[in-house]
Amino acid sequence: MNKEPLFRLTSVSKSIGGKTLLDNISLQIEAGDFLSILGPSGAGKSTLLRLFNGLDSPTAGTIEYQGKPLFSYPMTGLRKRVGMVFQNPVMVRGTVRDNLLLTQRWEQPSTNLAEETLVSVLAQVDLSPAILDQDTKTISGGEKQRVALARVLLNKPEVLLLDEPTANLDPQLARRIVRLIHQLFKQLKLTIIMVSHDYSLLSKYTTRIAFLIGGRIVEEGAADILEQPSTETVKTFLAKGAI
Amino acid sequence: MSQSFYVITWTDVLVSFVLVAISLGLIRWWKIGLEKTLLIGTLRTFVQLAAMGYVLTFFFQQRHWLFMVTLVSLMILIAGFEGYRREKEFRIPHYFVIITGSLFFTVFIVLGIILKFILDVQPWYYPYAMIPIAGMIIGNALNSTTLTTNRFIGELQHRDQEIEMLLSLGAPARVAVQDSLRNAIRAALIPNINSLMMVGLVQLPGVMTGQILSGVDPLIAVRYQIMIMYMWITTVIIVDILVLAFVYRQFFTPRIQLRRHLLLKKYP
Ligand SMILES: Nc1ncnc2c1ncn2[C@@H]1O[C@H](COP(=O)(O)OP(=O)(O)OP(=O)(O)O)[C@@H](O)[C@H]1O
Ligand SMILES: [Mg+2]
């Protein structure tokens, strides 16, 4: 039972309208991994990431979560366990508090979130409680990204899917956010699957790397494959600086 | 007591073309360039309504419940088809069935209450009551569903990211589209609620004007109009909620995934 990987993708493909976006991907992710999915724009990284929490279905192949088919789980429950943060954090109209309390729109009232819970989750993402009653229209991009993180953390997820969470931030802020993500990864014993253009940002933290180019995984392994890429495509990708 | 109502003859109607002639003159003078369309419209009004008069006279002579039920069903089918046809830009699965079914249900409820409990007509299929009221219900319901469906799709289009964000937090589909549903229904309701507020203050509703002109006591005409207004608003609320309750489901898979491709225009 414990031998099962957290995620097991077997020959997963996805095509839309005759176009193949993901091509025969097999991949295993162990609990506790910090997997970076790297690749150029249009490689299919977002498409792949959206499969892990069932926002999309593959057109071929199977995905298992903890040894059982992903889609055999009730989707709403699964998505709480496998949280996701998008490239552009979407806020609903209202304050930061409204956004943190979103899940109360559908959870039983018994899960009432105490003020201390909100304050402590904000502390985890390095925000002060003063922001709670600020309108989300007035907060900065970096703050938005952290509110989005806090919002997901309130679900107490096992896995975090991150789709270029730093793409719209300046390099310094991006580093700070990635450091924060790494802290959460350690603290909360999460499994992280993070998509990025920029391997230099992640190299310090990531435990595993998968290179996705043209919808295929061309290379996959422990973090040190960065130093010794075995395929030409990855070498060129790295040489170009990868942004 | 002077004559309390005037019978308008076909000759009188022809004289009312003077009004059209004035309009024609005006748009010619300003070179608006719609003379032909206006003329066609004017003629069609005449022909269609005159034909309708004869058709109605025939219908009103019928005295069989099955005839009336078939007639109303046919009206609903035509309306369902028209609603389906109006939805040109987007493909909503089962849309024809959704509208037609919702119309059937709404007409059944609203017409039933009116015929049975409010007017208490004998027999219940009395054509002078059933046909015009059914027509009014169906017509209003059709316009309103078109409005609400279009608005709903518009909301989905600009909220797709928000909806997927909510889904990814574990929201059920219904919650993820709650704001879109609310806005769509509100958009369809507000004009109707406004007319509840304004009716009688500025303009008399057409039905009432017609009744008064043909000699009905204003107090009776007003009672009918009040009933019609309530019927109207209830119809719109029931049918819009019903249609959206089925429409929103078409935009999700059983795995609670947003079917994004349905938000793309039908003909790219
Ligand atoms: N619904 C769709 N229909 C057709 N093609 C699509 C669809 N969605 C995505 N694609 C295509 O699939 C490819 C992969 O898209 P994806 O968003 O996964 O790339 P990505 O690796 O995340 O890129 P980026 O780094 O720029 O975000 C792109 O070429 C895109 O145009
Ligand atoms: Mg992407």
User: Is the C-beta atom of A165 inside 6 A of ligand 1?
Assistant: no
Residue A69, C-beta contacts closer than 8 angstroms, at least 6 positions apart: A62, A63
Q: Which pLDDT score is estimated for B1?
A: 38
The answer to whether A54 and A70 are in contact (CB under 8 A) is: yes
Distance CA B142, CA B169 (A): 36
Give residue-wise pLDDT tens across range B19-44: 999 999 999 999 988 899 999 999 99
State pTM to two decimals. Answer: 0.89
Nearest-by-Cβ selection for A76 from B164, B178, B256: B256
Q: Which helix (H) or strand (E) holds A82?
A: strand A82-85
Q: Which residue of B164, B165, B259 to mutate against A (max A Cβ within 10 Å)? A: B165
Distance CA B135, CA B69 (A): 13
Looking at the complex, report in whole angstroms how far the Cα of residue A11 sits from the nearest Cα belonging to chain B.
21
Output the average pLDDT for chain B.
90
Q: Does B35 touch chain A (CB under 8 A)?
A: no
The residue whose C-alpha atom lies closest to atom 25 belonging to ligand 1 is A41
The answer to whether B153 and B263 are in contact (CB under 8 A) is: yes
Residues in chain B with pLDDT < 70? 1-5, 266-268
Structure letter (DSSP) for residue A95: B
B 172-201: CB under 8 A from A: 172, 175, 178-179
Better-predicted residue by pLDDT, A166 or A195:
A195
The ipTM assigned to this model is 0.93
Q: Which pLDDT score is estimated for A67?
A: 94
Q: Which pLDDT score is estimated for A93?
A: 93
Distance CA B177, CA B244 (A): 11
pLDDT over 80 at A243, yes or no: no
pLDDT over 90 at A4, yes or no: no
Give residue-wise pLDDT tens across range B56-108: 899 888 888 999 999 999 999 999 999 998 887 888 999 999 999 999 999 99
Give residue-wise pLDDT tens across range A60-90: 999 999 999 999 999 999 999 999 999 889 9
Residue A88, C-beta contacts closer than 8 angstroms, at least 6 positions apart: A168, B161
Q: Does A98 touch chain B (CB under 8 A)?
A: no
The answer to whether B226 and B166 are in contact (CB under 8 A) is: no
